[in-house]
Amino acid sequence: MNKKKGGKIAAVIDIGSNLLKMRICQLRKGEIVTLDRLQYPLNLGHEVFTGGKISFESLRELSSILHGYSDIMAEYGVDQYKVVATTALREAKNRAYVLDQLKIQNDMTVEVLEDSQEKTLIYSEILAGLQTMAPQKMGNALISYIGAGTIGLSVFDGQNMVFSQNVPMGALKLHDMLGSIQEETDSFYVVVKEYLDSIIGRIRLPQPEGGFESLVLTGNEIELIAKICGIEPENGRYIIKAKQIKSLFKEIRSLSKEKISDRFGIEEEVAELLYSALAIYVRLMQFVKADHIIAPKVDLWFALMKQMLIPKSANEYAEHVRVNALSCARAMARVYNVNEHHTENIRKFACKIFDKMKGMHGLDRRKRLLLELASIMHDCGHYVNAKEHLSSSFDLLKNIDLYGMTAEEMLIIAYIARYNEYDVPNYDGLEFIRIREPIRLVISKLVAIFRLANALDKAHKQKLDDIKVRLDKNRLLITGESNENLYLEKWAFEQTAPFFKEVFGINPELTIKSTMI
């Protein structure tokens, strides 16, 4: 097989919970064209969700199929490829051994996507596809991706995401957890409903005034559900009436997997997932008044493929994450009654210092985003405990889901928000010893910048509307104009300056000019 004429060829291999998939594509005249598509059934999810580990038999099978995929990539002349894994490998206790063996046996580096990374890539494609719909038709929407092992939930306000959370419960995991009860009762669907109520029903979704206008659901089973309902896709999406989903679940909810398999001509393993997926869909429909669901045809591979074949799309995706992460952070801060004027002031000051120090800190724009997010949410802890608000902010931020952020990034954000003019990171402290050295260094740099910015609005009264920042040899000169009393801010600034100098070797100096003529 010769390399096709045209642009570069790329491949994405997705090690999923129940399927190993590969897609090979080429860029032709600005369009991504599929050259080949393969998939192979695996039981990784079953093994991990029931036993916690991937067996070596499954690992050998996985490695063997990947060797075959490598041969096919070579035949096509693939220029670059990416191998990703999701829930099954993410939750496997022996993940390190599996990744090591795949590197040794197949010379493949597998990127295990975190929940937030996987869902955000999918959400970006969902929103790109929904842009063709009129905004007034879309309105406020609950958007959910139902995977094999997790459910992603996000709230869209018509412009941006304002909430994002991942639930450790997917179609396959739900079946593996409760499947043993099915043979014991004819009312298994009641057990499933009660269990989903105890998980999904307790999530505090930010309900827009008047409720959600749209429900956007997608996942591996959506095409099968649409096919059973006799729905054809339009403009890359299915529009399925809510009553059709409810009717279909009512039809199968008391049936065994064998009977579901016979009725629809599908494999029993697929029948199990169909049951679980429908149960989750019906539960999510309780959040929304809409009489239909919008089900886009999206997949993880396309978002990854686009970033490889269309270079500018990587920057577009980074901007998508930035805008929506900031939107979610502001929405969350409002829940905890923060002073938005104060936090936006701090964010602006912190960014100015960060940008001017670019040649000194060596941090990228993603780290700048972490600084922005910490600035917006740093006062959330006051809602919990005014006496220990710094510790409360730390505990809150390290444990929440924020659009597009990894667990490690949320930990960095929590640490940035953890320190004020009295406290600095302690490298010898137990909490810091557990963190990798490069991350400790990132935290220290961002904390130094944040503390300086935070000091400039210590009274929370925005006495300084703006600042000018200039780097002069070993001095960072910060200048502001105000006719108000800034003795508190100057004191706080002096308290934060020594740590800044310790981290960067630069002495920050604050000059306030009077606005009086």
Under 8 Å between Cβ of 108 and 59:
no
pLDDT at 136 over 50: no
Burial code (b: 16+ CB inside 10 Å, e: under 16) for 443-452 equals bbbbbbbbbb
Q: What number is the average pLDDT over the span 456-483?
A: 93
> 97: Cβ–Cβ under 8 A, 6 or more apart, which residues?
none
Q: 9-18, 357-366, 424-433 — which is least confidently predicted?
A: 424-433
DSSP letters, 292-351, are: EEEEE---HHHHHHHHHHSHHHHHHHHHHHHHHHHHHHHHHHHHTT--HHHHHHHHHHHH
What the block records as the tokens of 352 is 């100015």
- pLDDT tens by residue, 476-502: 999 999 988 999 999 999 999 999 999
pLDDT confidence bin for 333, thresholds 50/70/90 = very high
Mean pLDDT of the chain: 89
* Residue in the structure block whose two tokens are 């998508």: 320
- SS3 at position 491: helix
Tell me 4's DSSP state: P
pLDDT at position 493, please? 95
Distances (CA, A) of 256 to 47, 159, 194: 22, 43, 19
> 128: Cβ–Cβ under 8 A, 6 or more apart, which residues?
none
pLDDT at position 1, please? 45
Whole-angstrom Cα distance, residue 106 to residue 100?
10
Domain boundaries, the chain: 9-113, 116-299, 310-513
Domain topology for 116-299: Nucleotidyltransferase; domain 5 (3.30.420)
Q: What number is the average pLDDT over the span 290-296?
A: 89
Q: Which one of 3.40.50.300, 3.20.20.80, 3.30.559.10, 3.30.420.40 gives the CATH number of domain 9-113?
A: 3.30.420.40
Two domains, one topology: 116-299 and 310-513: no
pLDDT at position 511, please? 93
pLDDT at 2 over 50: no
Between residues 31 and 422, the one the model is more confident about: 31
pLDDT at position 469, please? 95
Task: Specify the pTM.
Answer: 0.90
> 74: Cβ–Cβ under 8 A, 6 or more apart, which residues?
none
Domain topology for 310-513: Hypothetical protein af1432 (1.10.3210)
> 196: Cβ–Cβ under 8 A, 6 or more apart, which residues?
169, 174, 279, 280, 283
- pLDDT tens by residue, 148-175: 888 999 999 888 999 999 988 888 888 8
- pLDDT tens by residue, 201-248: 888 888 877 788 889 999 888 888 999 999 998 888 899 999 999 999
pLDDT at position 134, please? 52
- pLDDT tens by residue, 88-107: 999 999 999 999 999 999 99
pLDDT at position 20, please? 95
pLDDT at position 135, please? 46
Q: What number is the average pLDDT over the span 71-79?
A: 95
pLDDT at position 517, please? 52
